[in-house]
């Protein structure tokens, strides 16, 4: 079943279609907060967000301006595998065409080349990000601080997969505190074109508005073919939340 929720807006300039992929199966760690944050910020910037939830069994909307995905349980991943394979071509075409996407945790893994289980079974991914994830017995859990192109980014990781970037694959950030992709090479996440993968829950966008607005800028300019005109947003509370976490976690 698919559903589209029109968010009301008073001073809207144009509609931006935000698609959250598998909100039931793959968003148990608050990652729907990313979609909520983007919808609010789009509104505050003067655009009208249209949030669409994509559930398994439907055709993925090819007119998406921004695509978000989150983390789930192993049982949730199993429930979306078939649908993801069915819609892989549409997602790959959207990605190649420059559609901004943010895939967190489990969906980040599924956007890679493959996930190799502890038992050695190879589960193929969508292959948009050139990464491979190896299942581990031990989970990597805890608060994270990254250095990224959008400044310090804070969040929370909770994953058993250990992800390796292929040669030439750009990470999303460098770990200042926490484990990141694998706990060894100080990389976190992956970026290819406008597609971002990361392990950071938190959820990541509310406390990191610079990164959220970068995604919005990409979506708006792609949707409207004109420059993004940001509104005046007071991000003092988000900045406090973020800088306090950085101060707690990073030893200088």
Partner 1 sequence: MAAGKAARAASRLRGGGSALPGLVAERVDPAFLTHALAGLPHGIVVVTGTNGKTTTTKMLVAILRRHGRTVFTNPTGSNFTRGVISSMLGELRLSGRLEADMAVLELDEAHALKFAAAVRPTHALLLNVARDQLDRFAEIDHTAKLLAELAGQTTTGVVLNIDDSFVSRIAGHVAGSGVEVRYFGVDPSIADRLPELQEADVRFEDDFAPPAPTASDGLLKPKDDRMFEVLFGDVPGSADNVGPLELKQRGLAAMINATAATTTAKLLLGNDFRADQAVAALEEVTPPFGRGEVIDADGQPLELVLVKNPVGFTVALGTYGSTPVTSMVAINDNYADGRDVSWLYDVSFESLRDKGVALTSGVRAYDMALRLKYDDVAVAEVEPDLDVALERFLTAYKDEPKRIFCTYTAMMALRRDLAARYGLANFGEEARS
In the complex, the residues that contact partner 1 under the rule CB under 8 A are 23-24, 28-33, 36-37, 40, 73-75, 79, 139, 141-143, 156, 158, 160, 201-203, 206-207, 237-238, 240-241, 244
Q: Is 44 helix (H, G, I), strand (E, B) or coil?
A: helix
Smallest distance, Å, CB 73 to partner 1?
4
Largest Cα separation within the chain, whole Å, is: 54
Segments in 123-168 forming alpha helices (H): none
Q: Examine the residue annotation and report whether 65 is marked as an active-site residue of this protein.
A: no
Smallest distance, Å, CB 121 to partner 1?
18
Smallest distance, Å, CB 29 to partner 1?
5
> Which among 172, 229, 212, 243 is positioned nearest to 37, based on CA atoms?
212
**Measured from the CB atom, is 12 or 40 closer to partner 1?**
40
**Measured from the CB atom, is 99 or 196 closer to partner 1?**
196
Residue 203, preceding bond cis, omega within 30 degrees? yes
Q: Examine the residue annotation and report whether 105 is marked as an active-site residue of this protein.
A: yes
Q: Is 117 helix (H, G, I), strand (E, B) or coil?
A: coil
Residue 200 makes CB contacts below 8 A (sequence gap 6+) with 104, 144, 146, 153, 154, 155, 156, 157, 188, 189
Smallest distance, Å, CB 132 to partner 1?
22
| Alpha-carbon span 125 to 131, nearest angstrom | 10
| Alpha-carbon span 74 to 57, nearest angstrom | 19
Smallest distance, Å, CB 231 to partner 1?
15
Pick the catalytic residue from 54, 65, 105, 159. Answer: 105
**Measured from the CB atom, is 33 or 197 closer to partner 1?**
33
**Measured from the CB atom, is 30 or 61 closer to partner 1?**
30
| Alpha-carbon span 94 to 97, nearest angstrom | 5
Phi-psi region of 120 (alpha: psi -120 to 50; beta: other; left: phi over 0): left
**Measured from the CB atom, is 91 or 215 closer to partner 1?**
215
Q: Which residues are part of the catalytic machinery?
A: 105, 201
């Amino acid at each position: 079943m698919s559903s589209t929720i029109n968010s009301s807006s008073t001073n809207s300039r144009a509609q931006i279609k935000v698609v959250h992929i598998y909100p039931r199966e793959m968003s148990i760690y608050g990652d729907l907060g990313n979609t909520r944050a983007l919808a609010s910020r789009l509104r505050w910037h003067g655009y009208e967000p249209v949030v669409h939830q994509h559930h398994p069994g439907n055709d993925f909307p090819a007119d998406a301006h921004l695509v978000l995905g989150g983390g789930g349980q192993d049982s949730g991943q199993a429930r979306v595998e078939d649908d993801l394979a069915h819609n892989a071509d549409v997602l790959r075409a959207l990605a190649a065409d420059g559609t901004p996407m943010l895939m967190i945790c489990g969906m980040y893994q599924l956007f890679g080349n493959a996930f190799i289980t502890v038992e050695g079974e190879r589960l193929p991914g969508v292959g948009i990000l050139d990464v491979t994830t190896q299942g581990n017995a031990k989970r990597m859990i805890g608060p994270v601080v990254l250095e990224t192109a959008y400044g310090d980014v804070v969040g929370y990781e909770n994953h058993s997969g250990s992800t390796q970037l292929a040669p030439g694959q750009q990470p999303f950030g460098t770990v200042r505190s926490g484990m990141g992709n694998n706990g060894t090479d100080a990389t976190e996440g992956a970026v290819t074109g406008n597609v971002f993968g990361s392990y950071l829950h938190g959820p990541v966008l509310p406390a990191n508005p610079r990164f959220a607005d970068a995604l919005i800028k990409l979506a708006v300019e792609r949707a409207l073919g004109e420059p993004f005109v940001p509104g005046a947003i007071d991000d003092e509370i988000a900045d406090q939340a973020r800088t306090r976490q950085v101060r707690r976690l990073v030893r200088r």
